[in-house]
């Protein structure tokens, strides 16, 4: 009887694992946390070791997970791309250490410790130093050919320095930085596309795109950590392998340490456990590898993983706190979004007191009630999220929550339209929607009008002075001086800023209109395709959906928007006010305009490798930027060097655009190829 129950549980576990494998590896959309998944695997493994008769060849513990997606050409790996065994705490790591020491017959072996990058594994083949093929891991034996997409990663050399003749295979990880993940998800939330769960899934989703231009727009990075058949290139240790990889100009993760004892390994784990919070690429653990390649060969591998390495995983950062309330806010498109108000908790370096609950389905799925004790974490180390309710802590006083059927701002009916997750206020004149619309219109990505914040927008719309974005252009200083906290000087400056915004490029104007499903990228595509607002208005749904990057849903949104009388009137009024409605020809672009830098406020933080901070500031200023020593809402760009701390965190919290040093140098080159000052320090 007992065995029957165990068999049933094993089947159930296999089903759950297969279901989650598909969500994770094939659809890039996991529904459970990594550690929950790991515990499913472990439970199954413990059943299989107690009842070996239940260990079938199809057990997930017998194979490396992942499956190639059908749209890509499949490629077989010369040597299987194995996975790693995990150690979930120090005791498990010690067991591994003692076990290998025993097999090796010595406690004195050398170990390398490297951060475990949270991305997706790829194999690259270079022939005579030229990139020939890139493939994902897939199921370990067969992966997907993603050569075209890998080529879009700007830090990856297509030709190596000092590479040997013939074929060379390097392996590593494709990742997305936390900042890029947050920016991407913010844009997706705005255009109501499904969000990525974490940077790793965003990286996987971005690499496995059928259109490599989408991959190119995602700013992926790659780090190499393994050279196949290294011995034949005269490499004898992991340490030298990493040096050789770097010597060929391939990017690698810089933090690493050579350790000679368990105590040294533990010290590295503790240090990286702190430092990893400041690393822009998420690392969820440390890979400990036997350094000597000959000793490795003597230990060999199991079917799934090498016996000479282990991945130590840091425990997930989760905190338990009280959910005091749920607030509902109205977005620009009328979507009612619930937000959890939490008892403040400190989590991965900041204090968290709010977390979006997205929509009613999410609240129902997690059965979240007001007054619950909940577990929270930061998705991708950055976005606060309610993971689950502590059901044991319930005492019956918790209140179930439903998003109201009326808009909290205007009282109009709020409904859920077929096929949508959001409940929407349908009132076109809803004041909350108008305020969000104006906030979007003036935002940095759109008309970039400085000096007009939430409070001012609220006053202008409540008084009826501004009923549409176009009304901004008929504001007079007297209208502004009548408002709270607006003096003559600030009013004049705002009028100037509004005037100045009339010259924004057509793509910014299209983005500013707030067409559903049209974000910055689509606006750029539309502007470069049509080059004038009139041609965009005149285009039909068919013509629109033929444009790369514009699918039928986006085309229908644009057509619906342009079909509405009051939207066309807004556009006409903007035109009459003098807002730019054409894309200028290249001749009209002022020669000294360096779009990345001119007029932008920069803050540099941390240590740069190629120059001092003062030199970098001078360089940015020479291209028209302003620099400052502290980060505020007004900062446009933060350039982050090594060991960046407080300013970097503040920039993350404020959603300021963040560049690493490499991006800064590239933009300097890109922005002003012929105009670099001769004495520009350290620009390669």
Catalytic residues: 116
Q: Give the number of other CB atoms < 10 A from CB of residue 295.
A: 17
Quickly tell me which residue has 């007004």 as its tokens. 634
CA 424 to mean position of chain CA atoms: 27
Shortest Å distance, C-beta 137 to ligand IVH: 6
φ/ψ of 260, rounded to 5, equals -115, 5
Do 175 and 221 touch, CB atoms closer than 8 A? yes
* 54-62: long-range pairs with CB below 8 Å, 24+: 54/6, 54/7, 54/10, 58/14, 59/14, 60/14, 60/17, 60/18, 60/21, 61/304, 62/303, 62/304
Based on the shown chain and the rule CB under 6 A, indicate whether residue 287 belongs to the binding site for ligand IVH. yes
Shortest Å distance, C-beta 173 to ligand IVH: 5
Based on the shown chain and the rule CB under 6 A, indicate whether residue 350 belongs to the binding site for ligand IVH. no
Based on the shown chain and the rule CB under 6 A, indicate whether residue 82 belongs to the binding site for ligand IVH. yes
Q: Quick one: which of 18, 79, 287 has its CA closest to 173?
A: 287
Q: What string marks each residue from 224 to 253 as x (binds ligand IVH by CB under 6 A) or -?
A: -xx---------------------------
| Residues written for the chain | 684
The CB-side HSE value for 382 (13 A sphere, CA atoms) comes to 32
Do 481 and 524 touch, CB atoms closer than 8 A? no
Q: CA-to-CA distance for 107 and 104, rounded, in angstroms?
A: 8
Based on the shown chain and the rule CB under 6 A, indicate whether residue 525 belongs to the binding site for ligand IVH. no
Virtual CA dihedral for 671, 674, 680, 682, nearest 10 degrees?
A: 70
Can you count the helices (H) and strands (E) in the chain? Answer: 24, 24
Of the pair 117, 611, the CB lying nearest ligand IVH is at 117
Do 662 and 649 touch, CB atoms closer than 8 A? no
Of the pair 119, 334, the CB lying nearest ligand IVH is at 119
Shortest Å distance, C-beta 198 to ligand IVH: 14
Q: Which of 68, 75, 84, 163 binds ligand IVH (CB under 6 A)?
A: 84
Q: Quick one: which of 131, 154, 152, 150 has its CA closest to 666?
A: 154
DSSP at 315: P
- E-strand ranges in 213-299 read 221-227, 257-259, 283-290
Return the residues of window 305-324 that contact ligand IVH according to CB under 6 A. Answer: 306, 311
Of the pair 99, 566, the CB lying nearest ligand IVH is at 99
Of the pair 117, 153, the CB lying nearest ligand IVH is at 117
Shortest Å distance, C-beta 233 to ligand IVH: 17
Q: Give the number of other CB atoms < 10 A from CB of residue 464.
A: 9
SS3 of 172-226: the string is EEEECCHHHHHHHHHHHHHCCCCCCCCHHHHHHHHHCCCCHHHHHCCCCEEEEEE
Return the residues of window 55-74 that contact ligand IVH according to CB under 6 A. Answer: none
Q: CA-to-CA distance for 44 and 51, rounded, in angstroms?
A: 10
DSSP string covering 554-594, please? Answer: HHHHHHHHHHSHHHHHHHHHHHHHT---BPPPGGGS-TT--
Shortest Å distance, C-beta 226 to ligand IVH: 6
Of the pair 66, 606, the CB lying nearest ligand IVH is at 66
- At CA 230, angle to CA 219 and CA 150, rounded to 5? 20
Based on the shown chain and the rule CB under 6 A, indicate whether residue 296 belongs to the binding site for ligand IVH. no
Shortest Å distance, C-beta 563 to ligand IVH: 49
- At CA 604, angle to CA 603 and CA 606, rounded to 5? 140
Stretch that binds ligand IVH, among 76-84, 319-327, 494-502, 559-567 (CB under 6 A): 76-84
Q: CA-to-CA distance for 271 and 259, rounded, in angstroms?
A: 13
Shortest Å distance, C-beta 654 to ligand IVH: 30
Of the pair 87, 498, the CB lying nearest ligand IVH is at 87
Return the residues of window 154-193 that contact ligand IVH according to CB under 6 A. Answer: 173
Based on the shown chain and the rule CB under 6 A, indicate whether residue 114 belongs to the binding site for ligand IVH. yes
Of the pair 311, 620, the CB lying nearest ligand IVH is at 311
Q: Which residue's C-beta sits nearest to ligand IVH?
A: 121
Stretch that binds ligand IVH, among 109-117, 234-242, 538-546, 613-621 (CB under 6 A): 109-117
Of the pair 54, 84, the CB lying nearest ligand IVH is at 84
Of the pair 114, 169, the CB lying nearest ligand IVH is at 114
Q: CA-to-CA distance for 178 and 162, rounded, in angstroms?
A: 33
Quickly tell me which residue has 């209109």 as its tokens. 513
Return the residues of window 456-475 that contact ligand IVH according to CB under 6 A. Answer: none
Longest distance between any two alpha carbons in the chain, whole Å: 86
Of the pair 222, 342, the CB lying nearest ligand IVH is at 222
Shortest Å distance, C-beta 291 to ligand IVH: 13
Of the pair 125, 287, the CB lying nearest ligand IVH is at 287
Based on the shown chain and the rule CB under 6 A, indicate whether residue 116 belongs to the binding site for ligand IVH. yes
Stretch that binds ligand IVH, among 29-37, 110-118, 404-412, 594-602 (CB under 6 A): 110-118
Shortest Å distance, C-beta 95 to ligand IVH: 18
Shortest Å distance, C-beta 319 to ligand IVH: 26
Q: CA-to-CA distance for 613 and 621, rounded, in angstroms?
A: 12
Q: CA-to-CA distance for 147 and 131, rounded, in angstroms?
A: 9
Q: How many residues line the site for ligand IVH (CB under 6 A)? A: 13
Shortest Å distance, C-beta 658 to ligand IVH: 23
Shortest Å distance, C-beta 87 to ligand IVH: 11
Quickly tell me which residue has 């598909």 as its tokens. 22
In terms of Cβ atoms closer than 10 Å to its own Cβ (0-12, 13-18, 19+), residue 189 is middle
Of the pair 226, 601, the CB lying nearest ligand IVH is at 226
Q: What string marks each residue from 593 to 632 as x (binds ligand IVH by CB under 6 A) or -?
A: ----------------------------------------
| Positions that interact with ligand IVH (CB under 6 A) | 82-84, 114, 116-117, 121, 173, 225-226, 287, 306, 311
């Amino acid at each position: 009887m007992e065995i029957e129950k165990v068999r049933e549980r094993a089947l159930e576990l296999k089903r759950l694992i297969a279901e989650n494998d598909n969500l994770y590896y094939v659809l890039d959309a996991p529904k459970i946390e990594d550690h929950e998944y790991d515990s499913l695997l472990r439970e199954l493994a413990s059943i299989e070791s107690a009842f070996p008769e239940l260990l079938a060849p199809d057990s997930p513990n017998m194979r490396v997970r992942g499956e190639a997606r059908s749209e890509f050409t499949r490629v077989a790996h010369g040597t299987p791309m194995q996975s790693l065994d995990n150690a979930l705490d120090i005791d498990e790591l010690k067991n591994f250490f003692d076990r290998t020491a025993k097999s090796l017959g010595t406690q004195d072996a050398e170990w390398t410790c490297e951060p475990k990058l949270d991305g997706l594994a790829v194999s690259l083949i270079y022939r005579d130093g030229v990139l020939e093929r890139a493939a994902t891991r897939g199921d370990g034996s067969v992966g997907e050919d993603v050569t075209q997409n890998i080529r879009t990663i700007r830090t990856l050399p297509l030709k190596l320095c000092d590479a040997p003749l013939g074929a060379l295979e390097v392996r590593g990880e494709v990742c997305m930085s936390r900042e890029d993940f947050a920016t991407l998800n913010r844009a997706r939330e705005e255009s109501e596309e499904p969000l990525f769960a974490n940077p790793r899934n965003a990286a996987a989703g971005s690499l496995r795109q059928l259109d490599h231009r989408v991959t190119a727009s995602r700013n992926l990075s790659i780090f190499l950590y393994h050279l196949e058949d290294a011995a034949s290139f005269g490499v004898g240790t992991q340490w030298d392998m990493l040096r050789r990889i770097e010597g060929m100009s391939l990017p690698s993760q810089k933090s690493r340490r050579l350790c000679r004892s368990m105590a040294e390994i533990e010290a590295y784990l503790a240090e990286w456990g702190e430092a990893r919070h400041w690393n822009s690429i998420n690392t969820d653990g440390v890979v400990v590898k036997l350094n000597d390649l000959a000793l490795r060969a003597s230990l060999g591998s199991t079917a799934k993983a090498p016996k000479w390495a282990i991945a130590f995983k840091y425990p997930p950062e989760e905190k338990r706190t009280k959910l005091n309330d749920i607030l509902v806010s109205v977005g620009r498109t009328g979507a009612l979004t619930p937000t959890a108000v939490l008892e403040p908790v400190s989590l991965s370096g900041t204090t968290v007191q709010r977390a979006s609950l997205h929509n009613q389905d999410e609240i129902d799925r997690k059965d979240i009630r007001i007054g619950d004790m909940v577990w929270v974490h930061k998705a991708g180390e950055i976005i606060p999220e309610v993971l689950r309710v502590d059901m044991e802590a319930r005492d019956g006083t918790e209140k179930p929550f439903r998003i109201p059927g009326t808009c909290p701002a205007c009282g109009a009916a709020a409904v859920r339209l077929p096929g949508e997750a959001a409940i929407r206020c349908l009132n076109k004149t809803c004041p909350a929607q108008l305020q969000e619309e104006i906030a979007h219109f003036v935002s940095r990505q759109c008309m970039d009008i400085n000096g007009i914040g939430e409070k001012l927008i609220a006053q202008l719309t409540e008084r009826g002075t501004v009923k549409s974005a176009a009304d901004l252009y008929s504001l007079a200083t007297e209208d502004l001086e009548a408002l709270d906290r607006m003096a003559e000087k600030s009013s004049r400056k705002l009028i100037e800023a509004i005037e100045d915004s009339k010259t924004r490029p057509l793509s910014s104007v299209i983005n500013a209109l707030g067409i559903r499903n049209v974000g910055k990228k689509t606006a750029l595509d539309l502007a470069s395709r049509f080059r004038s607002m009139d041609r965009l208005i005149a285009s039909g749904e068919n013509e629109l959906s033929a444009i790369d990057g514009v699918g039928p849903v986006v085309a229908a949104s644009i057509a619906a928007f342009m079909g509405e009388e009051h939207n066309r009137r807004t556009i006409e009024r903007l035109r009459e006010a003098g807002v730019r409605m054409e894309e200028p020809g290249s001749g009209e672009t002022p020669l000294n305009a360096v779009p990345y830098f001119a007029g932008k406020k920069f803050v540099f933080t941390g240590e740069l490798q190629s120059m001092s901070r003062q030199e970098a500031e001078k360089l940015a200023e020479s291209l028209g930027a302003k620099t400052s020593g502290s980060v505020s809402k007004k900062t446009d760009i933060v350039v982050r060097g090594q060991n960046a701390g407080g300013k970097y965190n503040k920039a993350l919290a404020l959603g300021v655009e963040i560049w690493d040093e490499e991006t800064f140098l590239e933009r300097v080159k890109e922005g002003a190829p012929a105009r670099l000052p001769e004495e520009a320090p350290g620009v390669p």
